[in-house]
Structure 1
């Protein structure tokens, strides 16, 4: 290869064909670490070239503060991926969080982006010690601690994640972003600074920052689930225990969720029938994420409203012109209502 491969060169349709035509099984995993990366741009280019050679697909964010990665790799290259990551001083020994489910088309390309932060938290890290994190609990320890009297369980994910699955009796802040959630959780818990607090999120990275923030704010007994819901689900199943996480674990790839238990905790935004299927509106100018049952998916042609349905049928060039003009959809999608079953 005369020129280094440092970015994707194909459209989505071509990428999907490439992935589906590859006979190899793939394994989905995630990893993260808060660690000083001196030159994220150089780090990014070197990492991209190495991962590309292994057939790695996925989404990776890099910043001076560290790395946050969700990827898939051919099963027969998993060992080489482990060796590669361990050869990088900043990442050596990093914990691989294998997904509950492996789906070949979870990722279609490799994208590594340099960001200001690996998770948008809105915090000024210079005001507190971000490395002074809470006590890590193994999935089994977390499982047992959930039954202790007086513990407070907090879901550190966004509302669209927690609506389809969460731990029993958890506080579910109604926040659309992690940035919004941190001050909200601090306010909710302001009278509970001496209580044992259990934090959890998808893979652990948001709890890492949240636990340090809460300790800085005077909370004395902050604990977090090591490896997040992903690790909990795998270990609890392996041990033959009954999961205290109910429903589906939302994930940030094309799957949009991993089924942990058969419980359905929310309803279709359009018809109100029980459903835990997330979808993005087919009108790319809207693209809102919402819960839609298979029946409404067929009836609405993957759209959130009749207005978006009509736009999605327009010729591609006409849709692009509408988006450029700022007309994302004919009417705002506030008619979509987030609901939990029984609420």
Structure 2
């Protein structure tokens, strides 16, 4: 048995006074010695937490005991080290930023794509009347994606609504959407249905569940995750690596952030180039005088920034609830 577990989960369920819930939930997580990142919004929860198996078990039991979150499905990974350094739980307007002026335009509890279990997704994905759609960002699908998947040139999911017009050619097909754990597909498939796509599906539990229940067959590369592991293997059937080093083109799945904090580009870089470039993406960044010290990981702990009281005041005047001090 591994020393720790990492839990990935989400639940679309209305939370009254969600901002206070976030404050209370943070203290609850800390009482269980968990570390991780949880986003709380009026529409629900989106989280990844890590801790000892007994503490993770207590957390899952508490979540399921709350009738608002009883349907929550946890993806559980056995890990040798904690996947986070600290525990963060923050209130935001949405648990996944949709990019819509009015996020209430879509509600996954009312309309969303048909959920496909991993084995059903695997059986359908290669049919002639099917298109597989990756709804994740560039840095995610560059390091791993399903064979023959359609990918979108987006830096963040909030850009997805603007890209739907590029998918018009697939309106006559069954569209199978997928993402890391399923949460983005809930909104992506709802948006597709809203725009006139008729046969829209989503991979239930995302790539992570597909790896556990279907062996990850035909998922090329590795799956990007939003914790200290950065990427994880999901394909035990026909694994491969598809990403290449930005600097030399060598096959590599290692992703880092540029040591130049003003750049901070998230990219693939092999170990050799990492040391040669001091963890920078380019010679221009390497030449900067105040770069972060590269230790071979390319992972840098965020330094909390001072609270901007003027910014908070302006948000209040616009009737936006204040966000937590540190971005998730």
Range class of TM-score, shorter chain:
0.7 to 0.9
Deviations 1:263-317 (A, max 9, x none): 121211111222221100122222211110110011112122233334365699x
Contact 2:208 2:234 in 1 (8 A): no
TM-score, normalisation: structure 1: 0.79
- 2:213 matched to 1:213? no
1:229 is matched with which residue? 207
User: How many Å separate the matches in 1 of 2:282 and 2:16?
Assistant: 47
User: What secondary structure, in the 3-state scheme, does the structure 2 residue paired with 1:271 have?
Assistant: coil
1:251 Cα offset (Å) = 0.7
- 2:98 matched to 1:111? no
2:315 is matched with which residue? none
2:218 is matched with which residue? 244
Unaligned runs of 5+ in 1: 1-23, 321-343
User: What secondary structure, in the 3-state scheme, does the structure 1 residue paired with 2:68 have?
Assistant: coil
1:328 is matched with which residue? none
User: What secondary structure, in the 3-state scheme, does the structure 1 residue paired with 2:148 have?
Assistant: coil
Match of 2:159 among 180, 185, 205: 180
1:285 is matched with which residue? 262
2:115 is matched with which residue? 136
Match of 1:102 among 79, 104, 108: 79
1:174 Cα offset (Å) = 1.3
2:142 is matched with which residue? 163
2:18 is matched with which residue? 40
User: What secondary structure, in the 3-state scheme, does the structure 1 residue paired with 2:40 have?
Assistant: strand
User: What secondary structure, in the 3-state scheme, does the structure 2 residue paired with 1:79 have?
Assistant: helix
Q: Which has the larger radius of gyration?
A: 1
Match of 2:50 among 66, 69, 72: 72
RMSD after superposition: 2.1
- 2:103 matched to 1:125? yes
1:45 Cα offset (Å) = 1.9
Deviations 1:82-101 (A, max 9, x none): 211122232223100123x6
Contact 1:30 1:203 in 2 (8 A): yes
1:151 is matched with which residue? 130
Moved >6 Å (runs of 4+): none
Match of 1:306 among 256, 267, 283: 283
User: How many Å separate the matches in 1 of 2:281 and 2:291?
Assistant: 16
User: What secondary structure, in the 3-state scheme, does the structure 1 residue paired with 2:260 have?
Assistant: coil
Contact 1:158 1:176 in 2 (8 A): yes
User: What secondary structure, in the 3-state scheme, does the structure 2 residue paired with 1:38 have?
Assistant: coil
Unaligned runs of 5+ in 2: 294-304, 306-328
User: How many Å separate the matches in 1 of 2:80 and 2:117?
Assistant: 26
User: What secondary structure, in the 3-state scheme, does the structure 2 residue paired with 1:252 have?
Assistant: coil
